[in-house]
Amino acid sequence: MAKPLILVSNDDGITAPGIRMLVEVAMRIGEVVVVAPDSPQSGMGHAITIGNTLRLDKSIAFADLGVEAYECSGTPADCVKLAKYYVLKDRTPDLVVSGINHGSNSSISVLYSGTMSAAIEAAIEGLPAIGFSLCDYGHDADFSHIPDYVEQIIRQALEHKIPSNTTLNVNFPKKSNEPIKGIKVCRQAHAKWQEEFDERLDPNNRRYFWMTGSFVNFDKGEDTDEWALVNNYISVVPCQYDLTAHHAIVRLNEWNF
């Protein structure tokens, strides 16, 4: 029986520790091909490159593992598009996985996340996909407590099939002295980033801003990704790219157009 073909991408760049961990886990399950940004692309959301050239080069990032890899000058969404229509133009991945991101992509962060944009782009292209993130923003983040869970989730996705037009947003708690309690299927918490802008002056006395802020969770539910992560569970949120507010259609039809 042929091994499943797994496409791996991310937004932290092809040399990030998180993607190496994901590649090593994916190799336990199937044949792996990597197409990832050549530099960090965090917070790019679903941006695509339309006004500049795109470069795609063979990479030696995973040569020691014997994995075919390519680095792309574009965004995570660009990487998935190039993988589907160029690198794997004669083959169809059985699964696309993105990450493992250095930092949480729970709640509203899914809209800003380059990690999730790669997974969502795959879903748009009709490919099953999962985005993986760890709630640790450090470049030297400790991933040692999650590989077996990553493998379990990938195997389940391949066996049971992800629903069409859907991608999974998986977030792992930061490593602590307490073992992970398990995996919870959740909804996205109602929360947001409350930005602040630190005004500064550059050496030429020109004003610039540095964005800071804090995360505010308005949601008290115990079925959300934020609740799961705070309570040391892995959160799994099924996401869709159809942003239609279906509940508002009836209200809008009452307007006098």
Q: pLDDT, tens digit, for every residue of 163-192? A: 999 999 999 999 999 999 999 999 999 999
Residues tagged in the binding site annotation for a divalent metal cation: 11-12, 42, 101
195, part of any domain: no
With cut-offs at 50, 70 and 90, classify the pLDDT of residue 2. Answer: confident
Which pLDDT score, from 0 to 100, does residue 140 have?
86
Number of domains in the chain: 1
Q: Residues marked as binding?
A: 11-12, 42, 101
1 has a pLDDT exceeding 80: no
| Per-residue model confidence (pLDDT) at position 232 | 97
Q: Which of 51, 137, 59, 64 is nearest to 102 (CA)?
A: 137
Domain-embedded: residue 85: yes
196 domain-assigned = no
Residue 213 placed within a domain = no
Give the Cα separation of 70 and 79 in Å (integer). 9
Percent of the chain scoring above 90 in pLDDT: 91
Residue 56, domain CATH: 3.40.1210.10
Q: What percent of the chain has pLDDT over 70?
A: 100
Work out whether strand 56-58 and strand 5-9 pair parallel, antiparallel, or are unpaired. Answer: unpaired
Question: What is the dihedral sign for C-alpha 4, 10, 16, 21?
Answer: negative
Which tokens belong to 188?
A: 């996205």
Angstrom distance (rounded) from CA 231 to CA 226 = 9
User: Is the pLDDT score of 227 beyond 90?
Assistant: yes
| pLDDT of 64 higher than 90 | yes
| Domain presence at residue 16 | yes
Region 106-121: mean pLDDT is 96
At residue 115, the pLDDT reads 97
Confidence band, pLDDT 50/70/90 cuts, at residue 13: very high
Residue 245 lies in a domain: yes
What pLDDT score was predicted for residue 9?
A: 98
- What is the reported pLDDT for 87? 97
Q: What is the pLDDT of residue 213?
A: 85
Q: Answer yes or no: is 205 within a domain.
A: no
Pairing of strands 68-72, 56-58: antiparallel
What is the model's pTM?
Answer: 0.94
**Segments forming the whole domain that contains residue 32:** 5-189+221-252
- Rounded Cα distance between 79 and 101, Å, is 16
Average pLDDT of the chain, as a whole number: 95
Domain-embedded: residue 202: no
